[in-house]
């Protein structure tokens, strides 16, 4: 039977996506000897992404899981200690900050970087999960390039859905926006742009009930099974791509009530920094970015978090009793 341990470090990083790994690389190179707790999905959303063509440094597409493996290897190479565990609770009221893992191990740190990411909301329909990366996506900016000259559908009615539809209209031959209601929630000016676009059509009062695949060994999306909410009828819409745009959920449940978050649960950081409402706690990546949500922006904010943490730790002695005592420290 394994005995629970307490791991102590100057900097603890929660999350193993582009933000967490980049923070670890910068922190390790600065001599902070960080510990990174990988979490439930090491590698983040890129582990379910097939071809990645928009991450700088690669002339041809690379696989998302491979890219994450490379980031992990780089973080370990420069001195990061990576632990496979899932943090179930955190205590941020006093230093050292403390986190408890599902393994029973505890983690104590002088500073913390939160990079736990966010997850796209999905419809939960048959075929959606199986065809993820093969015609089904939750990110037009990431995957729209693969649907140039093809017909696609966008699911949703808010700003995100309208933005996705307008973006895809510059690539696809036709975009169909499918919404369960008879009006959109998006801002009026965005709706006007949508309605005027010659490549975009809208299907109102309709839900998607199934993502249908092609036959054969290499299956891909061929059509959507739709249900008319007013008439009750079912029919198929042939498309090559379905983009789900019904929102994201940041993985911030552990921190609510301790850190300042916005109305949707994203951690609030000071403009131009990774600093949160608690001195010594920093946030990076999709957990605090509700706008861009790209691997490269997550990596950039991970760099910011590590640099902010390094600067903060240089001003705070390791035996400092409480973060509240340092509210006035400017770094």
Respond yes or no: is residue 109 known to be catalytic. Answer: no
142 flagged as catalytic: yes
Whether 139 is a known active-site residue: answer: yes
The one catalytic residue in 51, 139, 228, 303 is 139
CA distance 19 to 284: 6
Q: Which pair of tokens denotes residue 279?
A: 């001195």
Strands 206-213 and 221-228 turn out to be: antiparallel
Out of 143, 286, 289, 308, pick the active-site residue: 143
Quick check: helix, strand or coil at residue 161?
Answer: helix
Name the nearest CA neighbour of 7 among 95, 109, 80: 109
Q: Give how far Cα 115 sits from Cα of 21, 42, 48, 153, 282, Å.
A: 9, 11, 18, 31, 9
Long-range contacts from 277-281, C-beta under 8 angstroms, 24+ separation: 278/92, 278/323, 279/312, 279/323, 279/324, 279/326, 279/327, 279/329, 280/95, 280/97, 280/110, 280/111, 280/112, 280/309, 280/312, 280/316, 280/323, 280/326, 281/92, 281/97, 281/111, 281/112, 281/114, 281/323
Tell which residue, 306, 250, 236, 327, has the closest CA to residue 34. 306
In a 10 Å sphere around its CB, with 0-12 CB exposed, 13-18 middle and 19+ buried, how is residue 107 labelled?
buried
- From 142, 286, 289, 308, active-site residue: 142
Of 279, 277, 221, 285, nearest in space to 250 by CA: 285
Question: Which positions are annotated as active-site residues?
Answer: 139, 142-143
């Amino acid at each position: 039977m394994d005995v629970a341990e307490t791991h102590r470090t100057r900097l603890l990083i929660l999350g193993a996506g582009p933000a967490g790994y980049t923070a670890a690389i910068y922190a390790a190179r600065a001599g902070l000897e960080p510990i990174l707790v990988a979490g439930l999905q090491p590698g983040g959303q890129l582990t379910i992404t097939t071809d990645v063509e928009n991450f700088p440094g690669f002339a041809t597409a690379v696989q998302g899981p491979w890219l994450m493996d490379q980031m992990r290897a780089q973080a370990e190479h420069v001195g990061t200690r990576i632990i496979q565990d899932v943090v179930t609770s955190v205590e941020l009221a006093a230093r050292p900050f403390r986190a408890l893992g599902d393994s029973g191990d505890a983690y104590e740190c002088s500073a913390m970087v939160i990079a736990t990411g966010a997850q796209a909301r999905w419809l939960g329909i048959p075929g959606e999960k199986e065809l993820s990366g093969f015609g089904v996506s939750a990110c037009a900016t990431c995957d729209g390039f693969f649907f140039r000259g093809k017909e696609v559908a966008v699911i949703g009615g808010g700003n995100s859905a309208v933005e996705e539809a307008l973006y895809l209209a510059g690539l696809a031959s036709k975009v169909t926006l499918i919404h369960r209601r008879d009006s959109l929630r998006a801002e009026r000016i965005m709706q006007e742009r949508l309605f005027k676009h010659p490549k975009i059509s809208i299907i109102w009062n309709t839900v998607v009930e199934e993502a249908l695949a092609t036959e054969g060994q290499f299956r891909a999306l061929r059509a959507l099974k739709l249900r008319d909410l007013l008439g009750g009828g079912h029919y198929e819409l042939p498309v090559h791509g379905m983009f789900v745009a019904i929102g994201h959920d940041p993985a911030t449940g552990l921190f609510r009530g301790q850190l300042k978050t916005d109305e949707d649960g994203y951690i609030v950081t000071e403009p131009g920094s990774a600093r949160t409402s608690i001195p010594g706690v920093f946030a990076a990546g999709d957990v605090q970015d509700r706008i861009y949500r790209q691997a490269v922006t997550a990596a950039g904010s991970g760099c910011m978090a590590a640099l902010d943490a390094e600067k903060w730790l240089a001003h705070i002695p390791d035996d400092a009793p409480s973060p509240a005592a340092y509210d006035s420290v400017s770094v």
